[in-house]
Chain A
Amino acid sequence: MNDSIVSLVDKYHLIAAFAVVGLTMYVAYWLSRHLTAGRLHGSAIAIIIGLVLAYVGGVSTGGSKGLSDVTLFSGLGLMGGGMLRDLAIIATAYGVRFQEIKKAGLRGVIALFLGVLVSFVAGAVVAVGFGYTDPVDITTIAAGAVTYIVGPVTGATLGASSEVIALSIAAGLVKSILTMIATPATARLIGLDNPRSAMIFGGLIGTTSGVAAGLAATDARLVPYGAMTATFYTGLGILLAPTVLFLAVRALF
């Protein structure tokens, strides 16, 4: 009986992954609503659970692919693999309009480029400070400081190791969670009370879930402005990190 269930789930591993992730999302959003009053976004909690599960899976199997090394959960590797991930990331660009970014004006565009650059340099400096010397590793960790999407996409493109990709996701996650917490706390200090500063804020910080949740906790009316520039940020990061910024890192190290 048990064996037949295990072999069935193994056979339909992608379907099992959808069910597992769906359950994780449900638990995460429930925790977000009931324990943090929505201040910590459900998506961030879900990713933390994912990383914890990956840690548990890695420790229990000694493998290098987190929870997907456990036969029952092997579908997670396919669901979270490069092919579907890139398809979903590209789909997030849907609905973004070039006319909208014009409303943010020149300052918004400067914020976008500066935001990606500053985060990347901060991540690169920290990576070098911790003793990383390989340009691919430095670029991947730096891209993780841009967002937890840009990090793994960059790492996968450049052929970084899974540990470094996990680090880059963790860096982006720290950024996202901290944005959710720090935004309402510092909103008055940094003048975050109008559409213009919200768009600049989204462009500088970029991590979409962090910006959306942080602004929602500050003033829900600011969310669309910040989220709009934040959407461009991920695309710009994916465009710049594995290309221009990687070449710059490679020239330096």
Chain B
Amino acid sequence: MTMVIYGVALLAGCMLVGLIIGDVLGQLLGISANLGGVGIAMLLLIFVTGYLKDRGKLPEATESGINFWNAMYIPIVVAMAASQNVAAAFSGGMVAIVAGVLAVALGLALVPVLTGKKGDDAQPLDPPASAAMPPSRATTDRSSPRGY
């Protein structure tokens, strides 16, 4: 018998263990904060589910218990955004805009630097199609592989 709660419990267990480790790390470093507990929990979840999946011990119902919370992440972020002190932040809004723009500009500029010379694994997916790609959005059929 498989149950959705097993997946939720697995997720919750990873979260608790991660938060405990993060808490201990914070205490060891003398900071009254949880140091990376959420990130540690993510790594734990990747390891544990990867291990279980490889052994075929992650039935669909269990998986759906994790996937539900995965799918709830944007809605929860929306609820989080709706309960922030935006009115007070508005006065300092330029900080957000300048920081965001700078981060994107630097990130985009670094893409060709890190990609380097085109090797065998860095060939365009489909040269003739991709060469004509950006302007021909209207004529290209992309209804199938959207995947959202």
| A43–B78 alpha-carbon span in the complex (Å) | 8
Q: B122 contacts which of A88, A163, A196 (Cβ < 8 Å)?
A: A196
Taking each of B72, B97, B99, B126, which has the highest tally of chain A beta carbons within 10 Å of its own beta carbon?
Answer: B99
B66 — which chain A residues lie within 8 A by C-beta? 91, 94
Is B2 part of the contact surface with A, judged by Cβ < 8 Å?
no
* B1 lies within 8 A of chain A by Cβ: no
CA A182 to CA B105, docked complex, whole Å? 9
Contacts of A81 in B (CB 8 A): 80, 83
* B82 adjacent to A90 (CB under 8 Å): no
CB <8 Å contact, B100 and A65:
no
CA A172 to CA B81, docked complex, whole Å? 12
Provide the residues of chain A in CB contact with B101, threshold 8 Å: 174-175, 178
Q: A22: which of B75, B84, B99, B104 is its contact (CB, 8 Å)? A: B75
Taken together as a complex, chains A and B put the C-alpha atoms of A247 and B36 apart, in Å, by 13
B111-131 vs A, CB cutoff 8 Å, 1 = contact: the mask equals 110111011011111100010
- The yes or no answer to A194 lying at the interface (CB within 8 A) is yes
Most chain A beta carbons < 10 A, residue from B25, B29, B110 = B110
Q: How many A-B residue pairs have CB under 8 A?
A: 357
B65 nearest CB neighbor, chain A only: A91
Complex: A58 Cα to B37 Cα, angstroms: 31
Contact in complex: B125, A80 (CB < 8 Å): no
Bound-state Cα–Cα, A51 to B81, Å:
5
Q: Which residues of B, 73-116, contact A by the 8 Å Cβ criterion?
A: 73-90, 92-104, 106-112, 114-116
Contact of B42 with A by CB under 8 A: yes
Residue in B81, B98, B118 whose CB lies within 8 Å of A126: B98
Interface contact A91-B114, CB-CB below 8 Å: no
Interface SS of chain B: helix, strand, loop or mixed? helix
Q: From B87, which residue of chain A is reached at the shortest CB distance?
A: A58
Bound complex: CA of A17 vs CA of B79, how far in Å? 8
Instruction: Please name all residues of chain A whose beta carbon is closer than 8 Å to the beta carbon of B146 when the two chains form the complex.
Output: 38, 216, 220
Q: A89-B38, A171-B100 are in contact. Are A54 and B75 (CB under 8 A)?
A: no
| Contact for B121 among A89, A172, A175, A196, CB less than 8 A | A196
Please classify the interface of chain A as helix (H, G, I), strand (E, B), loop, or mixed, using the class held by over half of its residues: helix
- Nearest to A222 among chain B residues (CB) is B125
- CB atoms of A167 and B78 under 8 A apart: no
Contact A107:B106 (CB < 8 A) given known A53-B82, A91-B70, A174-B99 = no
User: CB-CB contacts of A212-248 with B at 8 A, as 1s and 0s?
Assistant: 1000111111111000000000011011101100010
Cβ–Cβ < 8 Å partners of B118 in chain A: 191, 194
The contact string, 1 if C-beta is below 8 Å from chain B, for chain A 161-197, is 1111111111111110011001110111011111111
Chain B, range 57-76, C-beta contacts under 8 Å to A: 63, 66-70, 72-76
List residues of A (49-88) whose CB comes within 8 Å of B's CBs: 49-55, 57-59, 64-68, 73, 76-77, 79-81, 84-88
**CA A93 to CA B49, docked complex, whole Å:** 10
- Other than the given A17-B79, A196-B121, A222-B125, 4 more pairs (CB < 8 A) read A50-B82, A190-B109, A197-B122, A243-B35
State the 4 A-B residue pairs at the shortest beta-carbon distance, nearest first: A174-B100, A58-B87, A239-B39, A80-B80
Q: Could you jot down 19 A-B contacts, CB within 8 Å?
A: A43-B74, A54-B83, A65-B85, A79-B75, A87-B15, A94-B67, A107-B115, A111-B110, A126-B98, A132-B95, A158-B33, A166-B89, A170-B89, A171-B99, A186-B108, A194-B118, A206-B107, A223-B147, A240-B36
